[in-house]
Amino acid sequence: MANITISMIQADLLWENKEANLIDFENKIKKLSGKSHVVILPEMFNTGFSMNSQLLGEKMDGQTVSWMRRICIENRIILTGSLIIEEDGSFYNRMIWMMPNGQLGYYNKRHLFGFAGEDKHFCGGSQRMITSVNGWRFNLQVCYDLRFPVWSRQQIRENNEPEFDVLIYVANWPEQRAHAWRTLLTARAIENQCYVFGVNRIGQDGNNLTYAGDSLAIDPLGQIINESNNRENIFTCELKSEFINEIRTKFPFIKDADNFSIM
């Protein structure tokens, strides 16, 4: 694996205002000036965590996906974050992985947040997405998925290597549950011996919920390598292959893990 740089953008999302949010993120991305391979935006970065799926949902050739493609081509980055996508009459909280050549992959959020009624407005996904960049393998997850460790659990491939090296969680995680956010992100890093990036928002949404940010980058030992509290922020981390390889060699815990299948 070659070393790789990852940037997280923690922002105050304007409620259901796509145009304003996209302009704001474009300006923030320009400030990176080609310093990152991967740039991570929060969950539903163009609208905030809205259940107004029929009004805000887009096709895959719609405004926001087209914007992501242009931004990636112009800035030579990979860009990821989730938005509301409509497909065959169903709506998904879909995390897009847009590449610099304009091609993309995606992950549909598996665990829908019933406490907020997300399960009544969206369909859940059934497949994980693990993608590769510069030899690093990324597992994409969305917000509430964080509470369900089996869905993100590391598995050993046929060549006895771990399935992924980086877990990404994009979120709109409210301030009153910030302790759970920080604790679970750390647990996911330790149990999977991987880097974890949790990208949250700040501000207040249209339901008067407050978000304190607490976006985190955590190493495979569970140590915080970068964090952002209750303010808009952009920060970049360089991941070094020597470190993760050393940890996995020194502490070969994953090989002792239980074998299982996700049905």
Catalytic (active-site) positions: 43, 109, 143
Give the residues across from 212 on adjacent strands. Answer: 202
Cβ distance 85 to 68 under 8 Å? no
Cβ distance 80 to 168 under 8 Å? yes
Q: Which two tokens stand for residue 69?
A: 């493609």
Cβ distance 50 to 206 under 8 Å? yes
User: Checking DSSP bridges between strand 215-218 and strand 195-199, what pairing results, if any?
Assistant: antiparallel
Three-state DSSP at 131 gives strand
How many whole angstroms separate alpha carbon 213 and alpha carbon 219? 19
Q: What is the enclosing helix (H) or strand (E) of 152? A: helix 149-152
